[in-house]
Amino acid sequence: MTNSDLAEVLERLRALGVDRTFAGKRVVCTGARGFLGQAFARTFSALGAEVVAIDRYALAQEMGAAPPAELPGVENVDHDVTKPFPLWGRVDYVLPLAAIASPVHYAKRSLVCHDVIVQGTRNMLELAGAKGATMLLPSTSELYGDSGWGGSAMREENLGPLDPWDVRGRAYDVPKLCAEALAAIFAAAGVKIQTVRYFNVFGPPMSRHDYRVMSRFAAAVVDGLPLQVHGFGDYPTRSFCYVTDAIVGSFLVLARGDGRPYNVGNPDEHSMRRLASLFAEVGEEITGRTLTVEHVEPPAAYVKQPRRRRPDITRLLGLGFEPRVGLRVGIGRLLSWAVEAYK
């Protein structure tokens, strides 16, 4: 998140009356150099919490993550999350955010992707249980498979079919399902767990080496290259959620959730063709260059993707949530940041 994004998050949390919940608390966060990890660390720090920010520095650097930021109350720790993490003192919250979520790595590093999610979550569940801490489990809309093909929004209870033999399935989708299964086992034993299923969160500081569609389009705008859409661009569709909305929703679940999973996202659904057009329009306004959209055949190594994604956020709305940042505004914020960060 940018400084202005953080200020927006803090103001919204104050208005919702949950900002003081986290002052003076001790938080353990894995994947702290990742996109969401950085956003959570900055928010907890600004709320007056003490954060133990864990990441495997060599792997994070390989994934294109920025160096760990020096923040008030944040202790940066270089550690492999697939190994147990002994920690002295109290812990109030645990966030196992470590995950390799970029499709470009699924085929090459399936086992690493699997172990970071499954074993990493197991180790943090053990820590939460030992310390009496509450876990915020970051899950994913990938658990719904193609269940939204009929046009209906995806509700938390309507999980779809997952394919463990598919490249994406074995490296990310099924491991995330395993993480929820582990959480359910520990919850049955008394560990306090809140679960959020994210729908395509984007914004600063996404790495340009992430290779998912938002960073790929942002990099194309910065470099003045055509925005490449696979096929006609009608499908897949996605519902994109700007990072400030995702963070506010997550803190609401952490403070007020009932222990069952919550969808966190923005229900506005867009095709890839529409997304590329918006990037071109907003990119031209920001850069002053003429940008084009071209339709190309998917690469041979293209990872199979669900055709639709649209969340039903009724449960999250019940906690006081409201998505505030529309797609066009969010793209503008991402590009305004990326024109410098992606150089």
Residues designated as active site: 172
- Closest to 325 (Cα-Cα) out of 212, 204, 197, 220: 204
Distance separating alpha carbons of residues 189 and 185, to the nearest angstrom: 7
Nearest-angstrom CA–CA distance, 239 and 241: 7
Q: In degrees rounded to 5, what are phi and psi of residue 107?
A: -75, -40
Q: Which residues pair with 91 in a beta bridge?
A: none
- Tokens found for residue 9: 């998050």
Taking the C-alpha atoms of residue 123 and residue 131, their distance in angstroms, rounded to an integer, is: 12
Q: 28, 52 in Cβ contact below 8 A?
A: yes
In this structure, what DSSP letter does residue 147 have? T
Please classify residue 71 by burial: count the beta carbons closer than 10 Å to its beta carbon, then call 0-12 exposed, 13-18 middle and 19+ buried. Answer: middle
> What is the Cα–Cα distance from 232 to 133, expressed in whole angstroms?
48
210 class by beta-carbon count within 10 Å (0-12 exposed, 13-18 middle, 19+ buried): buried
- Burial class for 267, CB neighbours closer than 10 Å (0-12, 13-18, 19+): middle
